[in-house]
Amino acid sequence: MGWYFRRSLNLGPLRLNLSRRGVGWSVGGRGLRVGESADKRGYTRASIPGTGIGWRGPRGCLLVLLPPLVLLAALLGSAALALTRAA
């Protein structure tokens, strides 16, 4: 593993990612983001906020993954809500 440098600037839903390779961008919010890396590769990133569970792949591949991710988010969200109400 090597060292890396990355700096990001948040401008609302737009994020500029600065690295040694150049400038990349992404747009979205917590849980879903679409962007382009500094070396011009498009990507989609989906995650369930606060869980550490996520996926990153080529842009456009999210359509296959979205239904199971939404179902998992709903299940985890309802379980977390039940736990907070019980406490």
Cα-Cα-Cα-Cα torsion 19, 21, 22, 26, nearest 10 degrees, comes to -70
Task: State the residue for tokens 């907070």.
Answer: 84
Contacts (Cβ under 8 Å, ≥6 apart) of 87 = none
Using one digit for the tens of pLDDT, what is the confidence trace for 7-17?
A: 889 998 899 99
> Can you give the pLDDT at residue 47?
82
40 DSSP assignment: S
Q: Is the pLDDT of residue 23 over 80?
A: yes
Using one digit for the tens of pLDDT, what is the confidence trace for 50-69?
A: 888 888 888 766 555 555 66
